[in-house]
Structure 1
């Protein structure tokens, strides 16, 4: 059975905590080509806003491992991404991610799935949300 609008609202358990480190922040900012000094600060570096995707992506496994949904990563395109940041991620933050299915539209053999990944510290401080739209094509036998 493919994913349907009946799955909207389904949430998954939080991921294990991800420790934000100075090295990972610098590595990410370097990969972006962004020399903003806030990312390389010696005392309290902050992460680029899109660093949230690193942690949010860890939560995606839940939807691809859910046998009821029938989603397969190799048939999925990441179509859109939005970040709603409450505060920047900082060195030393232990961040957990909780994924919720927000919207599902089915058109022919294509599923358009919007997922929201809420990010918070392990202590419960809200950090922001990474919202993604995934476009998934069902295999031939499900069309």
Structure 2
């Protein structure tokens, strides 16, 4: 992640991947200013921003959005390579702890609130990560057995 900065501007986070760029700004005026700055810099290098492909996405911080971010970004990071893991009770405990820490933050509950894990998972409509890992391992098991 980089930041675009002018002489007297605030930093604007920029996510760049291949030919895609995401500008992230809290107030809309900062986003507009950052967009104009990028447009000017790109035009100076004989490049242009495609108006038909450009999108403005406004995210609210609702539980639904946070749960979506968890499911699409955080969970895959948490379980990367899980098909090949040997799940010991210690590993299971650590993975479940990381999952519930994220889900409790999304829900706004703490351990002191004494809300059960399954209740939080059900309210956010998420499958327990250990179940997800076990399914991934079973999917991986078939191709591995066929290799022999």
Same fold judged by TM-score > 0.5? no
Give the structure with higher Rg (CA): 2
Shorter-chain TM band: under 0.3
TM-score normalized with structure 2 length: 0.25
| Higher normalized helix content (fraction of residues) | 2
TM-score normalized with structure 1 length: 0.26
| Higher normalized strand content (fraction of residues) | 1
